[in-house]
Amino acid sequence: MSSITATKALRPIGTAGKLFAFGLDVGRGLFRRPFQTREFIQQAWFIASVTIIPTALVAIPFGAVIALQVGGLIKQFGAQSFTGSASVLAVVREAGPIATSLLIAGAGGSAIAADLGARKIREELDAMMVLGIDPIQRLVVPRVLACMLVAVFLNGLVSVVGVTGGYVFNVVLQDGTPGAYLASFTALAQLPDLWQGMAKALVFGLIAAIVACYKGMNAGGGPKGVGDAVNESVVISFMLLFLVNFIMSAIYLQLVPPKTG
Amino acid sequence: MLLSAVQREKSAMGVEIKVEHLTKSFGKQLIWGDVTLTIPPGEICVMLGPSGTGKSVLLKTLIGLLKPDTGSILIEGTDIASCSEKDLYEIRKLFGVLFQDGAMFGSMNLYDNVAFPLREHTKKSESEIRNIVMEKMDLVGLVGSETKLPGEISGGMRKRAGLARALVLDPEIVLFDEPDSGLDPVRTAFLNQLIIDLNAQIDATFLIVTHDVNTARTVPDNIGLLYHKHLAMFGPREMLLSSEEPVVRQFLNAQRVGPIGMSEEKDADELEAEKGQDLPPLPPIPMQQMPSNGIARRSQQPPGEWCRANGVSPPPGSFMSSNAGLAPGV
């Protein structure tokens, strides 16, 4: 009896271990040739096409809400001239990667999990292995790389659209001065902020794709299993992405000193 | 040139599969235990068993898609159960597998599906690939459907397309997972004939997993029966068809009287109630199905050979007709 509860309690650890082992397999597959260029380009195009418009639409209110919150707060401190800077900092450092992660995991990851899950239950993956082709090398590696590439570009998109949205909101609705908003851009923000945003997006793309592929390839039990796999992959990657975002932000703040003056 | 001649010679022999003490369970549930059998090179074997006895699991274990708990599967000196992943992918190139629903890649049309293994594993030019693919498509009667997607065709066509893809790399072992499920009797008869003709042509080792008794009675050289978590019997066709073993005779003759019940096994009361009943006599053994050119296959034994060699008298009327003892309509 006690052993049953023990196995049940330990199951999540086993799953985490399998996910990690899968990640290592993908890492090994990265260096195996031939590289599937065609599949990579197709997947990158596919993921971009399902994420670009939602990302842009999410980024506008995201930038606006940050401008709203920061603008109000900063007015109370009497430092209106720094509104632009604070807004840029928030969008580039946090909002960009977070919005990217939501879209990559929610739109891209779910599509990948559903695709691989359907292949799994139709025995296509088995057939591929029997034909002597490793599905990790043939299908997973191109998807992971495509996800990482698209995530970096999406991060750039969110940053630009978010900052523009914040600018429009601040200038048009909050009666901010355009000059002050633009002039304060570089007061607090610095170049490493951009780099860390990109690094985050890269890691988020990697995690979202690996979780989605793992869940898809381990779907079981018919069509319902595919639905479950998609659901689990979105939930797990959201949790992981927010956790990793926190860790990376903490490390970044330790490593890079804030800009003074 | 010399090498290819050597390879041809080798492929003309087929490959032996030696399974020893194989056990597989999912969690605490034992699927089958201590399965030991040798599938002779170049022969056709059928693995029978009631639904849910792990026939498909056995098939997937033989190609290394599932790892057994204990035991070994030796193919050309490599143990599939314990070899490295690299060796496994190498050894799988010997295999052609027909999955239950064909397992065609949904995103490609039939031509690309059949060409896929060639494009991945060989450096052949597109025109050479075209020749091979069209030859295999012709073999399974699918010429004209090359541009269709797997979702647009019937189950039987998907199955035949799956067979074309399984054969495209000239495999030395061909595994069939329920080739007759979901096919009408006419298509099943054609498919069985195709299997026999193929074996005569390429001399590969064939293993068919099925629960169709008519197929089992007429097609194979050897029959195995999985029942109650173990391999009940494995041996030449005539040995099982003339066997008095209750499970074997019940299953091979599709009778209700015997140890197999509606759900796995019958309980003691049901067996007690059957005690007085007389078992119907064993039906005559039918002739083995011949290749369509009428020339016996290399591994085919003359009818009655095993019975004579082992001093077993076959049921009366055996080896007289090719559909003796079969269900009507065959």
Q: What is the CATH number of the domain that holds B216?
A: 3.40.50.300
> Residue type at A129?
M
**How high is the pLDDT of residue B11?**
45
Average pLDDT across chain A, whole number = 87
The residue with tokens 């089992």 is B216
Contact criterion met (CB < 8 Å) for A131 and B92: yes
Q: Is the pLDDT of residue A204 over 90?
A: yes
Please tell me the distance from the alpha carbon of residue A196 to that of residue A92, in angstroms, as a whole number: 9
Contact criterion met (CB < 8 Å) for B92 and A129: yes
Please tell me the distance from the alpha carbon of residue B42 to that of residue B63, in angstroms, as a whole number: 17
Please tell me the distance from the alpha carbon of residue B97 to that of residue B77, in angstroms, as a whole number: 21
The residue with tokens 């298509």 is B187
Please tell me the distance from the alpha carbon of residue B258 to that of residue B244, in angstroms, as a whole number: 11
Minimal C-alpha gap between B89 and chain A (Å):
5
Read off the pLDDT of each residue in A67-71 and give the average, rounded to a whole number.
82
Record the pTM. 0.81
Mutate: best of A11, A120, A123, partner B, most B CBs <10 A? A123
**How high is the pLDDT of residue A217?**
93
From A132, which residue of chain B is nearest by alpha-carbon distance? B89
Selection from A132, A169, A248, A235 nearest residue A201 by Cα: A248
DSSP state of A139: I
With beta carbons less than 8 A apart as the criterion, state whether B113 and B104 touch.
yes
Higher per-residue pLDDT: B68 or A3? B68
Selection from A153, A60, A154 nearest residue A103 by Cα: A154
**How high is the pLDDT of residue B328?**
59
Confidence of residue A4 (pLDDT cuts 50, 70, 90): low
Please tell me the distance from the alpha carbon of residue A206 to that of residue A147, in angstroms, as a whole number: 7
**How high is the pLDDT of residue B6?**
44
From B66, which residue of chain A is nearest by alpha-carbon distance? A126
Please tell me the distance from the alpha carbon of residue B320 to that of residue B330, in angstroms, as a whole number: 16
B33 falls within a domain: yes
- The ipTM (two decimal places) reads 0.76
| Nearest by CB: B89 against A122, A127, A134 | A134
Q: Where are the beta strands (DSSP E) in chain A?
A: none
pLDDT tens, position by position, A24-68: 988 888 888 788 889 999 999 999 999 999 998 988 888 888 888
B309 falls within a domain: no
Residues above pLDDT 90, as percent of chain A:
39
Range of the domain at B198: 28-243
With beta carbons less than 8 A apart as the criterion, state whether B220 and B46 touch.
yes
Selection from B142, B132, B253 nearest residue B194 by Cα: B142
What total number of domains does chain B contain? 1
- Tell me the count of A-B CB pairs closer than 8 A: 52
**How high is the pLDDT of residue B73?**
92
What is the full per-residue pLDDT of chain B (330 aa) written as tens digits? Answer: 344 444 444 445 678 999 999 999 888 888 888 999 999 998 999 998 888 788 888 998 998 888 899 999 999 888 988 888 888 888 888 889 998 888 889 888 999 999 999 988 888 899 999 999 999 998 888 888 889 999 888 888 888 899 999 999 889 999 999 888 777 888 888 888 989 988 988 889 999 998 888 888 889 999 999 888 888 889 999 888 888 888 888 888 877 777 777 766 677 777 777 766 667 788 888 888 888 888 888 888 888 888 888 888 888 888 877 776 676 555
Mutate: best of B28, B94, B99, partner A, most A CBs <10 A? B99
**How high is the pLDDT of residue B9?**
46
Q: How many helices (H) and strands (E) does chain A have?
A: 12, 0
Q: How many residues does chain B have?
A: 330
Read off the pLDDT of each residue in A192-199 and give the average, rounded to a whole number.
89
SS (H, E, C) chain B: CHHHHHHHHHHCCCCCEEEEEEEEEECCEEEEEEEEEEECCCCEEEEECCCCCCHHHHHHHHCCCCCCCEEEEEECCEECCCCCHHHHHHHHHHEEEECCCCCCCCCCCHHHHHHHHHHHHCCCCHHHHHHHHHHHHHHCCCCCCCCCCHHHCCHHHHHHHHHHHHHCCCCCEEEEECCCCCCCHHHHHHHHHHHHHHHHHHCCEEEEECCCHHHHHHCCCEEEEEECCEEEEEEEHHHHHCCCCHHHHHHHCCCCCCCECCCCECCHHHHHHHCCCCCCCCCCCCCCCCCCCCCCCCCCCCCCHHHHHCCCCCCCCCCCCCCCCCCCCC
DSSP state of A256: S
Minimal C-alpha gap between A152 and chain B (Å):
28
Please tell me the distance from the alpha carbon of residue A252 to that of residue B140, in angstroms, as a whole number: 62
Contact criterion met (CB < 8 Å) for A127 and B121: no
From A130, which residue of chain B is nearest by alpha-carbon distance? B92
Contact criterion met (CB < 8 Å) for A124 and B104: yes
From A35, which residue of chain B is nearest by alpha-carbon distance? B120
Contact criterion met (CB < 8 Å) for A132 and B93: yes
A118 contacts on B by Cβ (under 8 Å):
106
From B101, which residue of chain A is nearest by alpha-carbon distance? A122
DSSP state of A92: I
pLDDT tens, position by position, B176-195: 998 887 778 888 888 889 89
Task: Tell me the backbone φ, ψ of residue A176, rounded to 5 degrees.
Answer: -75, 160
Mutate: best of A46, A124, A130, A139, partner B, most B CBs <10 A? A130
B9 falls within a domain: no
Q: Is the pLDDT of residue A115 over 80?
A: yes
